[in-house]
């Protein structure tokens, strides 16, 4: 259905962006709100792979960088958050040097250029949160709008089938022949990425403004439950594990009312997806967990061996598949009609980064994620942040868990979510009320 519109949708998205600029003004906030509220459309291709495979998100970010350059270069030298800027610069240098020194230098400059949009987005997002404290809540509302659209898309897909998709062809993991299960990818090409996306977004619906109406509370928790249902429909065990760990963090750190509501809605969520389908994916697929783990461990070991052979700068960004075709030809899957598909990632996001960027690049990537978590935790303990910051920390933690099984940030929508959680933690408003949160 929608796959026939694959060429038209990116054009419509960019046209909507032009209209957004025309009616809401050519400013940072209008660009950011557009990206967040239309999140499901941010990974649509506007150029073929031969011309870089750039996406709608890339075009919007480069536009913002060029026409809002003055806002971008404004640097507060006294800010303690400049560390993120320097870490990204160092990561860019590693990408450049690693690519130039690899066996496959052809993608070096393209990889560097394609790394810039997320940095542009994150920088604009963080500076805007500091300049306008009201923008923090606007951004969360916009993200919720994007997630509501993604959930509605999934529900329609559940009714009409997988022909309702953005992609002419879906990932081979969409159908599990062992258990005869269909895994729903929603707005994504890959069901595992879909599960990670829903796990991260579910925590947004636990963040509710103080004094919100009962209707608003019910709507938020309803979409929280629907996210859990969606994770099960995606059949993503890693995403479900990330969600579980994130909820444990919330239960221990957040206020008492969130623990109660969380437990109640987890039970409701489980009952909901059990009633929708007895055989949906997450728990059924757990029966072959041992065999699956053995398969993955073999790939992980080979990937780590490659890392040890190229410890400092790696094999070059986005070169994993090219490398295994030349040096590790046993890393492949056999799909329909006997076709062989070589791995473009070692079934582990961290190992892919370690192999392609070396230990230095891997360390920089981890720091970009861990520093915000540590900062958020320390400021939470000091009561500088209120307890609702836990939801953004839990969202990021859920990604860190699920990322262990699949490299998913090749998709801009997940990359935007990761960057957004980092920004929302770092730029979280200072707590003006030292008392317990008002009970909803």
Q: From CA 157, how far away is CA 146, in angstroms rounded?
A: 17
Using DSSP bridges, classify how beta strands 340-342 and 332-334 pair: parallel, antiparallel or unpaired. antiparallel
Q: Are 139 and 424 in contact (CB under 8 A)?
A: yes
Mean pLDDT (whole number) for 103-119:
91
Report pLDDT for 351. 94
pLDDT digits 0-9 by tens, 15-73: 999 999 999 999 999 999 999 999 999 999 999 888 889 999 999 999 999 999 888 87
Q: Are 199 and 402 in contact (CB under 8 A)?
A: yes
| Residue 357 in this model has a pLDDT that exceeds 90 | yes
**Number of C-beta neighbours around residue 216 at 10 A:** 13
Mean pLDDT (whole number) for 338-364:
89
Mean pLDDT (whole number) for 200-206:
95
Backbone torsion region of residue 52, taken as left when φ is above 0, otherwise alpha when ψ lies between -120 and 50, otherwise beta: left
Q: From CA 422, how far away is CA 409, in angstroms rounded?
A: 14
**Number of C-beta neighbours around residue 352 at 10 A:** 25
83-86: long-range contacts, CB 8 A cutoff, minimum separation 24 = 83/371, 84/122, 84/126, 84/368, 84/371, 84/422, 84/426, 85/123
pLDDT digits 0-9 by tens, 137-149: 999 999 999 999 9
Q: From CA 18, how far away is CA 178, in angstroms rounded?
A: 47
pTM of this structure: 0.90
| Residue 97 in this model has a pLDDT that exceeds 50 | yes
Report pLDDT for 344. 85
- Give first-to-last CA distance, the chain, whole Å: 42
In this prediction, residue 435 has a pLDDT band, given cuts at 50, 70 and 90, of very low
Length of the chain: 440
Report pLDDT for 178. 64
- What per-residue string of b and e applies to 96-126 under the rule 16 or more CB within 10 Å gives b? bbbbebbebeebbebbeebbebbbbbbbbbb
């Amino acid at each position: 259905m929608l796959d026939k519109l694959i060429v038209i949708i990116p054009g419509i998205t960019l046209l909507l962006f032009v209209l957004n600029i025309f009616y809401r003004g050519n400013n940072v906030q209008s660009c950011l709100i557009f990206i967040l509220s239309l999140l499901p459309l941010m990974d649509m291709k506007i150029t073929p792979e031969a011309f870089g495979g750039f996406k709608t998100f890339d075009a919007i970010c480069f536009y913002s960088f060029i026409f809002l350059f003055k806002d971008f270069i404004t640097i507060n030298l006294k800010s303690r958050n400049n560390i993120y800027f320097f870490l990204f610069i160092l990561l860019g240098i590693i990408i450049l040097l690693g690519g130039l020194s690899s066996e496959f230098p052809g993608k070096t400059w393209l990889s560097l250029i394609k790394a810039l949009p997320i940095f542009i987005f994150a920088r604009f997002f963080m500076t805007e949160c500091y300049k306008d404290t009201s923008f923090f809540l606007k951004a969360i509302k916009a993200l919720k709008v994007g997630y509501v659209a993604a959930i509605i898309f999934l529900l329609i897909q559940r009714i009409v089938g997988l022909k309702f998709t953005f992609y002419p062809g879906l990932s081979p993991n969409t159908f599990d022949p062992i258990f005869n299960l269909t895994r729903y990818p929603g707005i994504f090409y890959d069901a595992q990425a879909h599960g990670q996306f829903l796990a991260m977004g579910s925590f947004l619906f636990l963040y509710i403004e103080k004094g919100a109406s009962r209707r608003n509370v019910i709507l938020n928790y309803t979409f929280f439950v629907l996210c859990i249902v969606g994770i099960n429909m995606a059949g993503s065990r890693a995403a479900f594990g990330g969600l579980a760990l994130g909820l444990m963090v919330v239960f221990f750190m957040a206020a008492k009312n969130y623990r109660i509501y969380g437990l109640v809605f987890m039970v409701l969520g489980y009952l909901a997806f059990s009633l929708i389908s007895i055989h949906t994916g997450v728990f059924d697929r757990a029966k072959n967990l041992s065999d699956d783990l053995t398969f993955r461990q073999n790939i992980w070991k080979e990937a780590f061996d490659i890392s040890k052979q190229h410890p400092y700068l790696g094999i070059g960004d986005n070169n994993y598949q090219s490398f295994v075709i030349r040096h590790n030809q046993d890393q492949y899957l056999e799909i329909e009609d006997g076709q062989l598909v070589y791995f473009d990632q070692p079934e582990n996001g961290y190992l892919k980064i370690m192999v392609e960027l070396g230990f230095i690049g891997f360390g920089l990537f981890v720091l970009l994620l861990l520093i915000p978590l540590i900062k958020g935790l320390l400021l939470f303990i000091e009561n500088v942040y209120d307890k609702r910051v836990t939801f953004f920390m839990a969202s990021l933690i859920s990604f860190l868990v699920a990322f262990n099984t699949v490299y998913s940030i090749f998709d801009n929508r997940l990359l935007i979510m990761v960057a957004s959680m980092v920004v929302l933690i770092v730029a979280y408003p200072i707590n003006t009320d030292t008392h317990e949160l008002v009970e909803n």
